[in-house]
């Protein structure tokens, strides 16, 4: 049984869009369904960074305000980035490369691997959490992942 959902940037981006956008409204309905079922929702710091930089680039102050409200709606929702997360991400990245599994350019900051590491540091068994993402192929190399509407 899923006890926790970790949000990647695509569903998080939908959740902070204005009302009236069909996909965003559907994602908010999906979120409320899981919250009502007492599923914990987590947002890793690396994903906040990824979304915030884009919202700043497009000057979306309303979405930035919604993002901040969403992150602070639950004291445990935001997962700060810790040294142990980065160490685990480095190990995951290196192991994947040794096995020939490439998720990003070798010189790129591989956000997917950092997201996976932050998810693993929740300490939950892999059958009790899932990452809601649009990038199932890369993230599922490390942790359980599905598109948000499949969860």
What are 7's strand-pairing partners? Answer: 132
Long-range contacts of 144-151 (CB under 8 A, 24+ apart): 148/7, 148/10, 148/11, 148/14, 148/27, 148/30, 149/26, 149/27, 149/30, 151/2, 151/5, 151/30, 151/34
**Domain assignment of residue 98, yes or no:** no
Question: Model pTM?
Answer: 0.93
Instruction: Report residue 108's pLDDT band, with 50, 70 and 90 as the boundaries.
Output: low
CATH of the domain at 19: 3.40.50
51-60, pLDDT tens digit by residue? Answer: 999 999 999 9
Tally of domains within the chain: 1
Domain that holds residue 10: 4-80+119-150
Give domain status of residue 100, yes or no.
Answer: no
Q: Is residue 86 part of a domain?
A: no
pLDDT value at 43 more than 90: yes
Domain for residue 27, yes or no? Answer: yes
Q: What is the mean pLDDT of residues 80-108?
A: 86
Mean pLDDT for the stretch of residues 13-25: 96
Is residue 113, in this structure, part of any structural domain at all?
A: no
Tell me: pLDDT of 144 over 70.
yes
Examine the pLDDT at 1 and tell me if it is beyond 90. Answer: no
For residue 108, tell me if it sits in a domain: no
User: What share of the chain in percent tops pLDDT 90?
Assistant: 87
63 domain residue, yes or no: yes
Is it the case that residue 106 has pLDDT exceeding 70?
no
In a domain, 16, yes or no: yes
Lowest-confidence region among 12-26, 75-89, 102-116? 102-116
Q: SS3 for 100? A: coil
């Amino acid at each position: 049984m899923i006890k926790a959902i970790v949000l990647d940037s695509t569903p998080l981006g939908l959740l902070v869009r204005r009302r009236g956008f069909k996909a965003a409204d559907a994602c908010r309905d999906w979120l409320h369904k899981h919250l009502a079922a007492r599923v914990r929702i987590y947002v890793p710091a690396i994903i906040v960074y990824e979304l915030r930089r884009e919202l700043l680039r497009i000057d979306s102050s309303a979405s930035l305000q919604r993002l901040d409200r969403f992150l602070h709606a639950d004291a445990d929702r935001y997962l700060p980035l810790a040294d142990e997360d980065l160490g685990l991400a480095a190990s995951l990245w290196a192991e994947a490369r040794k096995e020939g599994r490439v998720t990003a350019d070798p010189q790129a900051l591989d956000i997917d691997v950092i997201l996976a590491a932050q998810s693993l540091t929740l300490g939950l068994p892999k059958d009790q959490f899932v990452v809601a993402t649009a990038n199932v192929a890369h993230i599922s190399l490390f942790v359980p992942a599905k598109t948000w509407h499949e969860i």
